[in-house]
Amino acid sequence: MDHIKERREVPKEFQWHLERIFKTDEEFQKEIEAVRKQIDEFAKLEGHTTESAKTFYRSITAGNEIERRLNKLYTYASMKSDEDVANTENQAKKEQVVNLYNYASSKMYFQTPELLNTEKEVIESFYQAEPKLLEHKTNIEEVYRYKPHTLPKEEEKLLSNLSSAFGNDETTYGYLTDSDLDFGTIHDENGVEVPLTDTNFSIYIKSPKREVRKEAFERLYEVYKQFQNTITATFNGAIKQNVAMAHIKHYKTSFEAALFGDELDPKVYDTLVSSVRNHLDVLHDYYRLRKEVLNLKELHLYDVYTNLVPDTDTKYPFETASRLVLDALKPLGDAYINDLKQAFTEGWIDIYPNKNKRGGAYSSGSYDTMPYVLLNYQDKLDDVSTLAHELGHSMHSFYTRKNQPYQYGDYPIFVAEVASTVNELLLAKHMLKVSTNKNERLAILNQLLELFKGTIYRQVMFAEFEKYAYDLVEQDEVITPDKLCKKYYELNQDYFGSDVVVDKEIAYEWEKVPHFYYHFYVYKYATGISAACHIVEGILSGDEAKRDAYLKMLANGCRENPLNTLKIAGVDMTDKEVYESAIRMFADTIEEFRNELKS
């Protein structure tokens, strides 16, 4: 087994350059104190924020500056913490910033209620008296859009003070599933008894040995079955909290509240679900392919994650991956590539694993930092794809911040996965074009198949289940484990189809999905990949106007709502063609995989 380096042993050229944010701990601590003083100064504006155009402009710019400085502090502290999660000094820095956020919330709560207590005509007159306010008009209008859902000042203050008490159901669920559940042991490929965890389950369910997959599957869900009452209670509590908060804020339903922030028409959700439902035959064809390739008489649910093809022996050193990504993204133009090269030369990326480093990968940063990327790169094909994906996020952030002032210098969550998935798809298309190795090509196609299956169909199935659970609460029906498990099993029957044995244990899988605590988030994965497929079709057609429209979207930030932002790139999320283009790409990939096998 390779030696896992301590953080101090990792060469600097493989680390991100966080010293560009704060050079020393002393500089970080001085900023903490300076921001706290600025918050205290801001609190003196209470009762006066809309007295005049001058004080109104001062309150907006001062509030933005505090938020901007807090974001910079959190970026630094959070990423320092992720370098080595066992480093208590860095954990303390992160906690400091979280506490400072809470302090700011308690001291600055009055800004929005005071604006909403001011007649809009007064604010309109302020634009005349202080024209610089016009640069903030979109955000001001957004506040007024929330007026029907904003409470009187004292009630908002009460909710703000209670904010730290919210989310306990999710926290409890996290502790239970991450730490407290004991899944016992199973036998690995060598017959050795090994502990099963919620984390390593994802390894054993992909095992080439069927008996290992089956034992892991049955053992894991046997334990979840034992805790169905507890997890139903935490899920029910989270739903009831969101439903109650929606009603307190004068929304008709929690679903309406979830869509309101993005100004989404429910038609987006409905069109997505109906489009996927109308094309379940494509997913069922994928499972027929899987059954054929694995040469199984019966395809069980513990067979649907193991690789269709052996892992490619090809190694992809980071330098090779960097070159592949740069070549794959050339259709986005020379300017994009030249900007992207900064990621590799300016210290954006923390590349390799080290002891106690946070797992996985992400893109992060703030308006005043580089768009950093955390990786745990290990020379695998998946790592190349992850690099392209995270750089998609980072380039989106780069162009947004480069082209927008702070108040519009971020992008809506609804479009967050579009740029990253565009990069993933362009990489896969490029590698298929240049590769002459059959095993590598099959591995790339398999990777694409998993992307479509998991990001479109699986997430829509999750979305249907989540909507069902919320509807139960909205209709004052009692949520029980039996209702949830029955519905989840029925959905699995629909999505897997008649060629798959839908094992009874899958009824408990919903219990292990933390995304159900994110309040109608899962469907956004499916809308994101659907938009990305539509965009990639246009880019690879060679139509420069479509490419330029996409780049313009990346630079738009949050000046417009998500649907209008995507329309800049030629994507109408209310049009079923967007979703069907993604499903066509899935169907084409299934056929390409079949043809590659025969060649």
**H/E/C letters for each residue in 231-264?**
HHHHHHHHHHHHHHHHHHCCCCCHHHHHHHCCCC
Considering the domain boundaries, does residue 451 fall inside one? yes
Same domain, 211 and 141: no
Helix (H), strand (E) at residue 459: helix 458-474
Euclidean distance between the first and final Cα of the chain, in Å? 37
Say which residue the tokens 């609804």 belong to: 414
| Per-residue model confidence (pLDDT) at position 78 | 95
Rounded distance between C-alpha atoms, residue 270 and residue 138, angstroms: 28
Same domain, 296 and 402: yes
Considering the domain boundaries, does residue 354 fall inside one? no
Ramachandran category for residue 295: left, alpha or beta (phi over 0 → left; psi -120 to 50 → alpha): left
Helix (H), strand (E) at residue 363: strand 362-364
**Residues 478/261, Cβ–Cβ less than 8 Å:** no
Burial class (CB in 10 A: 0-12, 13-18, 19+), 92: exposed
Same domain, 111 and 151: yes
The list of the chain residues with pLDDT below 70 reads 1-2, 164
Rounded distance between C-alpha atoms, residue 116 and residue 401, angstroms: 29
**Residues 159/199, Cβ–Cβ less than 8 Å:** no
Rounded distance between C-alpha atoms, residue 408 and residue 564, angstroms: 15
- In terms of residue numbers, what domain contains 156? 7-165
How many Cα atoms within 13 Å fall on the side-chain side of residue 234?
23
Same domain, 86 and 216: no
Considering the domain boundaries, does residue 367 fall inside one? no
Rounded distance between C-alpha atoms, residue 155 and residue 112, angstroms: 12
Q: What is the pLDDT of residues 183-233, one digit of tens each?
A: 999 999 999 999 999 889 999 999 999 999 999 999 999 999 999 999 999
List of residues 6+ apart from 59 with CB closer than 8 A = 42, 45, 49, 50, 111
| Per-residue model confidence (pLDDT) at position 466 | 98
Considering the domain boundaries, does residue 492 fall inside one? yes
Catalytic residues: 390
| Per-residue model confidence (pLDDT) at position 2 | 60
| Per-residue model confidence (pLDDT) at position 313 | 80
| Per-residue model confidence (pLDDT) at position 166 | 74
Considering the domain boundaries, does residue 373 fall inside one? no
Same domain, 106 and 238: no
Tell me, what CATH number does 467's domain have? 1.10.1370.20
Tell me, what CATH number does 193's domain have? 1.10.287.830
Considering the domain boundaries, does residue 364 fall inside one? no
Same domain, 442 and 502: yes
Last residue of a domain, one of 226, 243, 278: 226
Beta strands 372-374 and 349-350 are parallel
| Per-residue model confidence (pLDDT) at position 1 | 40
Considering the domain boundaries, does residue 352 fall inside one? no
Same domain, 104 and 210: no
Same domain, 547 and 420: yes
Considering the domain boundaries, does residue 359 fall inside one? no
Same domain, 400 and 267: yes
Same domain, 287 and 392: yes
Same domain, 208 and 256: no
Tell me, what CATH number does 75's domain have? 1.20.140.70
Rounded distance between C-alpha atoms, residue 76 and residue 86, angstroms: 17
DSSP 8-state code for residue 177: I
| Per-residue model confidence (pLDDT) at position 220 | 97
**Residues 220/508, Cβ–Cβ less than 8 Å:** no
Q: What is the pLDDT of residues 139-178, one digit of tens each?
A: 999 999 999 998 887 887 788 777 767 778 888 998 898 8
Same domain, 302 and 395: yes
Q: What's the domain count of the chain?
A: 3
